[in-house]
Amino acid sequence: MGARFGVLGAITVWRDGTPVDVGHARQRLVLAALAVDAGRVVPTGPLVDRVWGVGVPRRGREALYAYVSRLRQALAGTGAELVREQGGYRLAAETDAVDVLRFRETARRARAAGGGEEAAALWETALGLWRGEAFAGADTPWFNAQRSVLEAERFTGQLDLMDVRLRLGQHGRALPELAARAEAHPLDERVAGQLMLALYRCGRQTEALEQHERIRRRLAEETGLDPSPPLVLLRQRILTADPALDLAPVTTPVTPRPRPRPVPQQLPAPPVTFVGRERELAALDDLCGTADGERTLDIAAISGVGGVGKTWLALRWAHRNLPRFPDGQLYVNLRGFAPAAGPVPAAAAVRGFLGALGVDPQEMPADPEAQAGLYRSLIADRRMLIMLDNARDADQVRPLLPGAGGCVVLVTSRDRLTGLVAANGARPCAVDPLTDGEARLLLERHLRRVRRTDDPTAFDAIAAACAGLPLALAVVAARVAVTPRFPLRTLAAELHDTQLGLDVFSGGDTATDVRAVFSWSYHALGTDAARLFRLLGLHPGPDISLPAMAGLAGLPVSRVRPLLAELARVHLVGEVTPGRYALHDLLRAYAGELARTVESEADRRDARRRVVEHYLHTADRAAGLLDPHRDRVPLPPAVPGACPQELADQAAALGWFTAEHAVLLGVVDLATGADLDAGAWRLARNLETYFDYRGHWHDWAAVQRIALGAARRLGDPAWQAGAHRGLGNCLTQMGRLDEGHHHFRQALDLYERLDDPVRQAHVHRGLGWVCGRLGAHRDALGHNERALTLYRQAGHRAGEALALNNVGWVHAVLGDYRQTLDYCARAVSVNQEIEDRHAEAGAWDSLGYAHHHLAEYPAAVSCYARALHLVRGFGDRYNETEILNHLGDTQLAAGDLDAARATRGQALEIALEIGHPDTDELRTKRDDLGPAGSADLRAPHPALR
């Protein structure tokens, strides 16, 4: 029999039916990468890419040679061997010996066999080769892409087998499988058509029509589309009881319509005024290819001095080539040379891309490398444009590169990115300053040809002074345009006389002229507008709202608005989105230089304090709207001029947090760097509710670590304890349970030394939560009982209600449901007394769970209905999923199979939308509708938090 190779599941080798030890995980990846192409040579370079992806170790090729040598020893005597030839390696084995190749060949034969018993047997053989997820445990871009392709082939094969079974009249046998598949793929019209036909043939015409109505509604709600014509025709034939349906499956097969994937459109608008660059545009055409159907990964490294127009060039080319990218565009400004906020971490950019690709924050893996792997998997089969603007260096870019062909990546940077060219195959495209003729033409277009005839010599001198930099030309043009009576000769003389130089951003002699241009426009500003421009150099960015600008300047919004208009007229600030403004990096650097040289140290310190307190006090108000029952941190009054914003309601609070998310992270850093540690700690505390609600666990952990450092510098043990507790919460939510437990213990030790019973109780609830997730339910009960005692002693009613519910829930986990009813009924009563509707929903859910396990099903359903009503009022999708899961268990136990199936389908639908961590479990429960009372008692309950 010889060697057999399996990749449709765990990567395995058998010799005469006995497993062969082929080494550790990475060594197995080498074998799997060769097995997929058994009989063909895989060159060394691509083989290394398959096995390691972008994380190739420094001595990756040497490691590959060692793995191949060991694999040869492991395969000795099996009849298969690894052969070195033509610059690569080949697995010399029969194609029939590799399960994935055997699967594809058997599937081909099944399709050729038609629709009889032979086809059914072949399909069952092919699908029977699968032992689980393909390449189980492998996580590189190539393996992830191959896995996606194979899963699609497997799913198609399952549908083809179902068509054969329906032709053979096996609709009764097929019905349970089809029902489960339709629940798992609610937008797949081919599956829906098969289920409708099977239901009809089983004499269930009404249910077949209901299935059509169900998918029609789902398609309309989620895609805005109507069912395809074949599915509509099938419905009509069922409605009229067409006799042909009793003899054969649908004559016009339903074309599957896959679940729509988000098509991100993140590309900024193209430059309004653009000239020249034909050489560079042609080079990009050549570098990035234009042939239809190409599946290569093209990376263009566009480099040049700041302000030379790299971004404008990239956007011009991108918008000219948009039809090449039907799957959308991703864009991120990496702020590689931003003077204040610093470069965007690659991990943060990956998370932003995942969000644009439809991944809920809670669905994202905790590990940054796993996030990058998920990102590469999602774009592996897409034709997309990815623009990475203003990159610092190659290391910042690499985690954002796709792992497979089909995409074009445009990278702009002041760095030449030689490392990206050498190691990743990027092709360089250097952008030089405009020629004199191009610069004059661009200035003319900015001014719409209205001034050159006044004084051609002066006009040419102004263009020349801008050193061919489009940014400088735009600023000068704005200045000329708003001073129509000012002689061009005088303007040209002033420009040439002002030689300051932007040394910190010098990429050559051109930088000196850029500063001259900026200073010329700056000196034309009024006193107050010039001060506002200087202070903007102190803001962490990346953008700023009008109220925050008022806080920075210490002026009312009504006074700032005309100053902002004055800055915008001369292109010293731009409105990037409605109501939000930003400075180009060079302008921000210039503003920062002016702030350091013109503003006194006291004025700079006061401006930083005002802007920190603007965000701090607004965040405090917003957090209070999101969670009115939280323990608020007392704040001293805001310093005069901070101008905190008033927010009307919860929706406004959530909108403010979302718009200011990136800025708030920068403000926390700004506060620590400006010796405002108290503000940094308080702001981090006020961000917790927002980060928790929206699933931004990584940012939550980052700011809590900053808060912990600030508290230590301040020597405040209470604030240190608060930061430890915050870290315990977010790390536990991320599944890092040991770390979460450690920080909760640190917090508890500090609060005990401080004799703070209420906060000790908070931490005991946290310890109960993490112990419950670790399976230590007796410990969880002890912590929650201690919390309850402390809350009662302190008269803390909101905490008492939460602890009552937690204790009741743990009793349910331990099987004492009568105790659960007692504790959770008291929790409902206290929550109603203090009007905490969100916590009340959790208590009703616990009551329903206890009634269910006491076989009191009507009471359980009633409790779940009240919980759902309350939790939906908050838009809390996570807990809505939990409650629906429990309700489905009760409906099944009560014998209402249809209601249970619908409820579990609804729970799974929401779980898929939000990235619920228990999605796989929910899918399994929905698919097999296990025995009554099958709720998993080990599942963490939200009330334990």
* pLDDT value, residue 453: 55
CB 299 within 8 A of CB 411: yes
Sheet strand arrangement including 408-413: 329-333, 385-391, 408-413, 298-303, 427-430
Lowest mean pLDDT among 145-149, 588-592, 603-607: 145-149
CB atoms within 10 A of CB 627: 18
pLDDT 10s digits, 810-825: 999 888 999 999 999 9
CB 406 within 8 A of CB 304: no
Residue bearing tokens 């920080």: 743
CB 890 within 8 A of CB 848: yes
Domain ranges, ordered by start, for the chain: 3-127, 278-430, 436-524, 796-944
% of the chain with per-residue pLDDT over 70: 85
Candidate ranges 231-240, 369-378, 785-794; pick with highest mean pLDDT:
785-794
* pLDDT value, residue 848: 93
Mean pLDDT of all residues in 505-520: 49
Q: Is-same-fold flag (3-127; 278-430)? A: no
Q: Answer yes or no: is pLDDT of 291 > 70.
A: no
Mean pLDDT of all residues in 46-69: 76
Q: How confident is the model at residue 502 (pLDDT cuts 50, 70, 90)?
A: very low
Lowest mean pLDDT among 71-85, 446-460, 526-540, 702-716: 446-460
Q: What is d(CA 337, CA 588) in angstroms, rounded to the nearest whole number? A: 11
Top-level class of domain 796-944: mainly alpha
On whether the pTM is more than 0.85, the answer is no
Q: What is d(CA 559, CA 562) in angstroms, rounded to the nearest whole number? A: 6
Q: What is d(CA 298, CA 832) in angstroms, rounded to the nearest whole number? A: 61
CB 143 within 8 A of CB 51: no
Instruction: Establish whether the linkage from the previous residue to 433 is cis, with ω within 30° of 0.
Output: no
Q: Answer yes or no: is pLDDT of 326 > 70.
A: yes
Q: Answer yes or no: is pLDDT of 406 > 80.
A: no
Question: In degrees rounded to 5, what are phi and psi of residue 435?
Answer: -70, 165
Look at 526 and 744; give whichever has higher pLDDT: 744
* pLDDT value, residue 826: 95
Q: Answer yes or no: is pLDDT of 511 > 60.
A: no
Average pLDDT, the chain: 82
Q: How confident is the model at residue 872 (pLDDT cuts 50, 70, 90)?
A: confident
Contacts for 63-72 with beta carbons within 8 Å, 24 or more apart? Answer: 63/26, 64/30, 67/23, 67/26, 67/27, 67/30, 68/30, 70/23, 70/27, 71/22, 71/23, 71/27, 71/30, 71/31
How far from each other are the two terminal CA atoms of the chain, in whole angstroms? 57
What's the half-sphere exposure (Cβ side, CA atoms, 13 Å) at 107? 21
Mean pLDDT of all residues in 393-415: 85
CB 188 within 8 A of CB 155: no
Q: Answer yes or no: is pLDDT of 318 > 50.
A: yes
Mean pLDDT of all residues in 346-361: 82
The alpha carbon dihedral of 478, 479, 485, 489 has a sign of negative
Lowest mean pLDDT among 102-116, 138-152, 474-488: 474-488
Beta bridge partners of 3: 15
CB 550 within 8 A of CB 613: no
Q: Answer yes or no: is pLDDT of 802 > 90.
A: yes
Q: How confident is the model at residue 911 (pLDDT cuts 50, 70, 90)?
A: confident
- The gap from C-alpha 711 to its chain's centroid, in whole angstroms, comes to 31
Q: Is 462 exposed, middle or buried (0-12, 13-18, 19+ CB in 10 A)?
A: buried
Candidate ranges 43-47, 238-242, 532-536, 633-637; pick with highest mean pLDDT:
532-536
Lowest mean pLDDT among 127-131, 180-184, 465-469: 465-469
Lowest mean pLDDT among 40-49, 255-264, 846-855: 255-264
pLDDT 10s digits, 919-943: 777 777 777 664 444 444 333 343 4
User: What is the SS3 assignment for 435?
Assistant: coil
Residue bearing tokens 């061919």: 468
Q: What is the 3-state secondary structure (H, E, C) of 263-320?
A: CCECCCCCCCCCCCCHHHHHHHHHHHCCCCCCCCCEEEEEECCCCCCHHHHHHHHHHH
Top-level class of domain 278-430: alpha beta
Provide, for the chain, the percentages of residues in helix, strand and coil under a 3-state DSSP scheme, each rounded to the nearest 5.
Answer: 65, 5, 30
Mean pLDDT of all residues in 898-926: 77
Residue bearing tokens 């430890």: 724
* pLDDT value, residue 611: 95
CB 236 within 8 A of CB 213: no
User: What is the SS3 assignment for 850?
Assistant: helix
* pLDDT value, residue 640: 93
Inter-CA distances, 769 with 702, 764, 783, 840, Å: 22, 9, 9, 18
Q: Answer yes or no: is pLDDT of 248 > 50.
A: no
Q: If we measure between CA atoms, which residue out of 21, 8, 9, 27 comes closest to residue 78?
A: 21
Q: If we measure between CA atoms, which residue out of 115, 107, 96 comes closest to residue 39?
A: 96
**Which fold is adopted by the domain 3-127?**
Arc Repressor Mutant, subunit A (1.10.10)
Structure-block tokens of residue 944: 């334990």
Q: What is d(CA 288, CA 410) in angstroms, rounded to the nearest whole number? A: 9
Buried b (16+ CB within 10 A) or exposed e, 676-698: bbbbbbbbbbbbbbbbbbbbbbb
Q: Residues with Cβ < 8 Å from 866, sequence gap 6 or more?
A: 841, 844
Lowest mean pLDDT among 162-176, 271-285, 465-479: 465-479
Mean pLDDT of all residues in 221-250: 74
% of the chain with per-residue pLDDT over 90: 26
